[in-house]
Chain A
Amino acid sequence: QSALTQPASVSGSPGQSITISCTGTFRDVGGYYYVSWYQQYPDRAPKLIIYDVSQRPSGVSARFSGSKSGNTASLTISGLQADDEADYYCSSYTTTGALAVFGGGTKLTVL
């Protein structure tokens, strides 16, 4: 079962917007609206920031937004802040046995 494909790294300056892509297939991202995104700081457990493609859990900043087109989902962070610097992972329902699959992760650097 292959991981979903994410860019290894992205960067942006404070105040800017960045977008992280997450590409799968019709068996996961393309076939269902069950894409979620996680933020992970070093040596910490991941935290859910987007679910069902574009929904934000209570307490998550509105600067985080999600979308999907075809087999690719995207996470956009607007008004970048220093504490947005972290690793970001996408996840999706998959029909290939495990129920869930993660992306390879993207390291966000705030310049």
Chain B
Amino acid sequence: QLQLLESGPGLVKPAETLSLTCTVSGDSISTPNYFWGWVRQPPGKGLEWIGSVYYSGRTFYPPSLESRVTISVDTSKDQFSLRLTSVTAADTAVYYCARATGTASTFSFFYYYTDAWGTGATVTVSS
């Protein structure tokens, strides 16, 4: 059974870099047509898709975060990671890692839905 587990610091200082890792078990991160993504949810607010990575290393980010976010994959460890630079209080949130199903080919990528989630990691940005 697929499980995703987030790990990383729960407290980050303003202007520093937030780093989280998601460890995947029960399936290979190299399975075709799965994307491995990060979703965050600020306190009392909605879900925000931060971005995703394909096992090939191809990444996908929303324009609003593209300048600050990096998602990488380590297929040898079945892990993928999030780095968010220059954080502010607005980045305080529960961060979920997730598996998304879609299709991937050399020139096209499609997202269908997110079918597995981690339990979430609470990250607070504060001095």
Contact = CB atoms under 8 A, between A and B. Distances in A.
A3 interface: yes
B62 A103 contact: no
B63 A38 contact: no
19 contacts: A1-B64, A3-B48, A36-B114, A38-B47, A45-B96, A51-B112, A87-B46, A97-B63, A97-B66, A98-B49, A98-B61, A98-B63, A99-B111, A100-B100, A100-B111, A100-B114, A101-B62, A105-B45, A105-B47
Contacts of B61: 97-98
Interface of A: 1, 3, 32, 34, 36, 38, 40, 45-48, 51-52, 57, 87, 89, 91, 93-94, 96-105
A105 B46 contact: yes
Nearest to A1: B62
A98 to B, nearest CB: 4
Given A96-B63, A99-B52, A34 B46 contact: no
Given A1-B64, A45-B96, A46-B117, A99 B47 contact: no
B10 to A, nearest CB: 15
A87 B41 CA distance: 13
A48 B63 CA distance: 25
Given A96-B63, A97-B62, A99-B35, A34 B110 contact: yes
B102 interface: yes
Contact of B113 (A34, A96, A98, A101): A34
Interface string B89-110: 0000000100010100000011
A34 B111 contact: yes
B114 A38 contact: yes
Interface string B74-86: 0000000000000
